[in-house]
Each structure stands twice: as structure tokens, then as C-alpha cells.
Structure 1
Amino acid sequence: MPRVIPPLDLTADPVELTAALVDIPSVSRDEAVIADAVEAALRAQAGHLEIIRSGNAVLARTNLGRASRVVLAGHLDTVPVNQNMPHSRSTEGEKLVLHGLGTVDMKGGDAVMLSLAATVTEPRFDLTFVFYDCEEIAAELNGLTRIQRDLPEWLRGDLAVVCEPTDAAIEAGCQGTMRVDVRVPGKRAHTARGWMGVNAIHGAGELLRRLSDYVPRQPEIDGCRYHEGLQAVKITGGVAGNVVPDECVVSVNHRFAPDRSPEQALAHLQEVFEGFELTVTDGAAGALPGLNAPVTQELIAASGGATPVAKLGWTDVSRFAALGMPAVNFGPGDPKLAHTQEEHVPAWQITHCADVLRKFVS
């Protein structure tokens, strides 16, 4: 029998709204129930918004003719359940903490967005809210990919705020990412006559030495210091217990600062691994901070003027930056807890993010 989901109250405290969202299962590719609940709540409680559905994404926006538009985006899906549903509560120093799947990644941010969508009826910017699906899995399934293809006008604005967890700090831009397979050739032979072959796994020693000796850049961009990285994440080789391996493949992940394009990042890897064959298996551009844009400066001021920090990871801000708009990450929750069984978020961070964004858009 289908589970009955209580209607969402978008005018409730965003902390309580977070708890309600957490208790709705929404593992990637199974977001229909939460999307239905979000759509129904917006249609019933936010009549000032234009609302449309795209698959299991829900989009809403004002059309007030303001001079600028701010896009707020958050994904509805989570990683698989790990004995961390429904939500639970605890206190730390008399302060409330919510525990459970999605409290950090990222139903706290979704709750903040839904609260603003329903209660800020006369914003000083036009606002677009994008609640999308399948962020936690392959990029081609990400709801933003579909929306950008089918409804590109819904992603345009003068600033994008992705409400991913940032410990309630503004994280600027994001790093790019690239994965490559580095191949080491060899020659097969029987291990009883190993001198007749060339052991590819032994040959990977030079490759691993270069990785061990690698010194990453730490460029500063718009006052934000990014920390690049180059890490071996997988190694394969060998065909049998009595055969000298004729190939060894080391998979390497490179996180690069947003002042480099993917093409420049690849050129750098080709320099680092000169003499080895490289095959790119995955990659995505980073996003420049965009902190000098006037609308971004207004968000920083609304946050109390705290200095933004670099996003040391990749998020969907990259998609918005590729559209030519500044984009930042700002949401409740410690990102280091994302995808863990111990996900939890201090209630004050949800309240703080809601207050900052409300001040900014009002």
C-alpha cells in the first residue's frame, strides 16, 4: 500500500520543514513522491509563482519584471538509505541537531529554498527556484542536464546560489575534476622465465613516484585559495598468477582550480605523465568565484560580510558558470558528513541560511 505523505507546510520553521523532507524517501531515480509533495505544496501555498514540472524536477519563478534575477537550486535526491531514516533529534549544548539521510545533502538547503519560495512574495530580484532530480548519480541523468536541454530559459539569471552544504559559509565557485587512465605497457612471459618478458606492474613504479612527488598548486582567485590535487584512485594489471603482466593501468583523479580549463588540465597531466599513454575517462570544468559581480557582493553583505572560501570540490555551480553567470554554494550542513550514515545538521545553520537569503532577496 502506498505510503501517505503528509502535506508539506512551507510556512513552517525551515528546521521543521527539513525534518519533513528527510522523512520522504528520495533515493536517486526514485524522487517522484518528494517531487509530487513539493509541487503540491508550491501550487497550494505559493500562488505568486509560475510553477512547472520537468520529470521529477519542480521549477518555480516570479515574473515581476525586476532588473535582476537570482536562481536558487537544490537537488531532491539522496544516496541510498543506510539505517538513517526517519530523522531523529539530539541536542548539543542545548542546541537542536537533526540527524538523518539528507539532513546535510541537501534537504536542509531544499527547506530553506521552499520557505523563501512560499513566504517572500515581493522580492527585490526576480527569483527562480529549481528543485531537481538525480544529482547523486551519473551526470547525464542529472535533472539539470534535462532542464538545460528542454527549458534553458529557466536556468538564466544574474546569480546562481546552489544550496549545497557549506557549513553555512559562502563557498565560491568550484574546482574542476578530471579522471584519466594512465597505461604502462609490458610484455607477457611465463613467470618461470620472467626475464623474457617486461613486467608492466614493475614499470608503474616510475608513474607512482611521480604521483608521490607531485606538488599541487594552491592558486588564489578573487581572494579564495584553491588546493589542487592529483591522486591515484585505482590500479589494475595482470592476467594470471604465472604470467608476467603486459599492461598496468593506474586511474588518476585530478582536481584543478577554476583558472584552468579542462583542456589546460589535460595538457598539465600530459606533462606530468610524459612518456605514458593517457585516456580521459571523465571530466568537468570548474567555476570561477565571480565574487566581484555586484549581485554577489550584495549576498556577501547580507551574510554579514564574512570572507567567502574556495569550494574544494565540484558542484553544479559549474553548470551555471558555463552559462555565463556568477555562482556560489551556500547551504546548511558540514559537507564532510555528506553520504555518511552519521549525517546531521545543527538547526541554527538552517535558520542562519534562511535568514541570510531572506535578507538578501528582500
Structure 2
Amino acid sequence: MDRTEDLDAFLRDLLIRLIAIPSPSGEEGALLAFLEDWFRSRGFPVARFPVPDHPWPNLLIHPLPRPRLLITAHLDTVPPLNHPQPYEAVERDGRIYGLGSADVKGGLAALMGALEMVGPERLARSSVTIALTVDEENMGRGAEALARACRPGAVLAIEPTDFTIGIAEAGTIEIALEIHGRPAHGSVVEAGRNAIREAVALLRELESLPSIQAEHPLIGRGAVTPLFIHGGERALVIPDRCALHLDIRWLPGIPREAIVGEIEGVLARYGATWRVVDLSAPFETPAEAPPVQALAAALREAGLPVRLSGMPSWTDAEPFARYGAPAVVFGPGTLALAHTPEEHIPLSALRDAVRVFVSLLQSS
């Protein structure tokens, strides 16, 4: 694949094939089987890594107990809820459209292209392991199980970062809560306490908290995002309950006890009942850390600019960072397009990503 035309054709055909295989979280089996056959047929050593409480394992290529570099990409996508043709890739104006094209089957296709060019013999002489994980878009059980067992020297999680090196990642506090009011006839406003109004006031107070108003130079401000909200049962009755599901962005540098204390103080003042659905800490990797410098060198060799960034979303890098590995997030594609019907990735970005991954693999 020395010629650009050959590489483009390889990447186009491979990404179209990857998109055509449905792999929402919990249904990664068909894609896993395809990839296992693809790597085995090319002579790469492959192993399945069981994931507790999940129907499918992770897939490891050139598995090592303590690789110097672990490169991970997830197999799953979000469900195809509002996507008109999630598994029928469309090429338009040099871009490939389809569910998972940016997050993260495009990055996976580029990594596979790089491995095709490097070959199994060269990979076998390296200290790199490739991990294709399950469940990233759901509970992250694939990465969590692997991080407990494997202690890599550094981790690269492939995600759509527009070729910026994500050295900081926001944490997540996901909360399900319910606010209780007092019912009354809808016209006798003064006699009731409207739980929906209370919920709106609670959201505003949460958004004004110091930990949320704080700003990180690479990520921006914290955030309080209502994901679901339900209140009221029928017309002409003041609603006496309102249920919310919140996703709260937790910035690196803010202690857990500080942000959790601020949030719980607001919830208590409103008499809310709540449960924490997920709590994942943020992390930040120094710019001088080995994986950052290795990626920077690979970008320069590929003729691309070196730019640092922050990842506002949880990724498979988090559990490895939690267990002490320097971690970065990097890849082709635009995060804002992921999970939308307009999700796509430019073919030229895949070609550039191959060059970066080849350089990285050959230097590791």
C-alpha cells in the first residue's frame, strides 16, 4: 500500500465493512469475530480477554503482561436510536458517514491500516499491545477489567480528537435524583409547591457552584447536563415530584471531596433523594510524559502540527490512569459529530492517522 490510491481504497473498504457490522454495547460479538479472523489471517498473535458481567471479551493483539505502550480502541457504538441508516456507510465529498465512523471505527480502521503496513514480525519485536475493548459506551467494563490485570508503561486511547493530543480528561459524576413538592389544584398556585420549578432552581444552583464554574485551560468549564427529566402527571395539578438524571463534568485539579460536598449540599437543601450512578475521576498527564512525547514525534514525522487538548468525556484511558499509567487520548475525527445522525470522518484524516500510527509503532 505504498500509493495513496491503494491506501485510500483499503481504508474506505475496511471502514465501510466495520460500519456494516452492528456493535452497540453488549452486541460486539460479530465485530469481534470479524476482527479476530482479520488479525489471525495476517499472522498477528491474538487472544481473548474475558470481561466479568459482560457477554463478550476484549480482543488483544500481541498480548504482553506489561507492555511499554498499550493502544486501545473500543469495539462498541451507541445504539442506533435516531440514525436513519446506521449500518449503511455513505461516502460524500470525501467523507464516510455512518454510525461509529468517528467514534471510533474510523480510528480503528486507521490503526488496522498501520498494522497492515508494519506487519506482525515488526510488531512482535516491539513492546506494544493492541487492546480492542467492549462496553466503552456503556459502563466501561472492558477497560476496567483489563486495567486491573495489565500494568502498561503508558496508554493511548483512540478517540476522535481531531489529531490533538488529549493530556487531560474530565471526570463524570452521574446522578439520578427526585425532588418532591406539594400537590394542589393547578389554579391555586400558592397552595402547592411545584416540583418542576424546584428542579429548575436546583439546576441553576448546581451550575453556579464553584467547582462547576471553575475552568480548565484545556477542557473549559465544568458543566451540569440534564440527560432525562420527568415531572407532573396530568393537567390542572401542581406537580409534586420531578425526576432528573444529571451528568456533571468534573475538572482535573478539583478534589473529589470538594465537588461532591458542594453537590450534596445543594441536593440536601432541596430535600432531594438521590443516588450516584457513576463517579469517574478526571486525570491529567504531564506534557513531558513519554506517551505525549512519542505522539508528538509521530505527528511531526507525519507532517502534522502538535497540539495539546483536553477530553470532555470519559474514555477507556481513565481506569489505566487511575492505576498509575500515563495516559493520552488521540485520534482522527471530531467528537462533536459522534452519537449524531451526521457522524462522519474524512478519508484524508484516516490516511493521516495511518502515517501517525505507523511512526508510533515503529518507534515503540
For normalisation by structure 2, the TM-score amounts to 0.79
The corresponding residue for 1:129 is 130
Check the 8 A contact 2:207/2:223 in 1, yes or no: no
Structure 2: which amino acid aligns with 1:298?
Answer: A
Deviations 1:52-85 (A, max 9, x none): 353343111265x9x9611111112223443143
Query: Shift of residue 188 of structure 1?
Result: 4.0
Which residue of 2 is the match for residue 229 of structure 1? Answer: 223
With over 3 angstroms needed to count, the CA separation of the structure-2 counterparts of 1:145 and 1:194, relative to structure 1, is same
Secondary structure, in 3 states, of the residue corresponding to 2:60?
Answer: strand
Instruction: Quote the residue 1:307 is aligned against.
Output: 307
SS of the residue 1:333 aligns to: coil
Matching residue of 1:3? none
What is residue 165 of structure 2 aligned with on the other side? 170
Match of 1:88, as an amino acid?
V
Q: Which residue of 1 aligns with 2:113?
A: 115
- Contact 1:293-1:326 at 8 Å conserved across structures: yes
| Contact kept in structure 2, 1:35 and 1:76, CA below 8 Å | yes
Shift of 1:50: 5.0
Shift of 1:38: 0.9
Name 1:292's counterpart in structure 2. Answer: 288
Give 1:41's match in structure 2, choosing from 22, 38, 58. 38
Q: Which residue of 2 aligns with 1:346?
A: 346
Aligned to 1:7: none
CA apart distance, 1:34: 1.6
Counterpart of 1:112 in structure 2: which amino acid?
Answer: A
Moved more, 336-345 or 247-256: 247-256
Contact 2:136 2:315 in 1 (8 A): no
In the superposition, the TM-score normalised over structure 1's length comes to: 0.80
Distance 1:263 1:194, change over 3 A: same
Distance 1:279 1:79 in 2: 26
Aligned residue among 252, 262, 270 for 1:268:
262
Q: Give the direction of change, closer, same or farther, for the CA distance of 1:294–1:13 in structure 2 (3 Å limit).
A: same
Mapped pair 1:57 → 2:58: yes
SS in 2 for 1:306: coil
Give the alignment of 1:202-213 within 5 angstroms.
202-204=197-199, 206-211=201-206
Match status 1:253 vs 2:255: no
Q: 2:225 corresponds to which letter in structure 1?
A: Q
Deviation at 1:23, TM superposition (A): 2.6
Kindly indicate whether the alpha-carbon contact (under 8 Å) linking 1:201 and 1:247 is maintained by their aligned counterparts in 2. Answer: yes
Residue number among 87, 90, 100 corresponding to 2:89 in the alignment: 87
Q: 1:90 to 1:242 in 2, by over 3 A?
A: closer
SS across alignment from 2:342: coil
Deviation at 1:238, TM superposition (A): 3.8
Name the SS for the 2:224 alignment partner: strand
Aligned residues between the structures: 338
Q: Which residue in 2 is equivalent to 1:25?
A: 22
Q: Give the gaps of 5 or more residues in structure 2.
A: 1-6, 51-55
Task: Report SS of the residue matched to 1:28.
Answer: coil
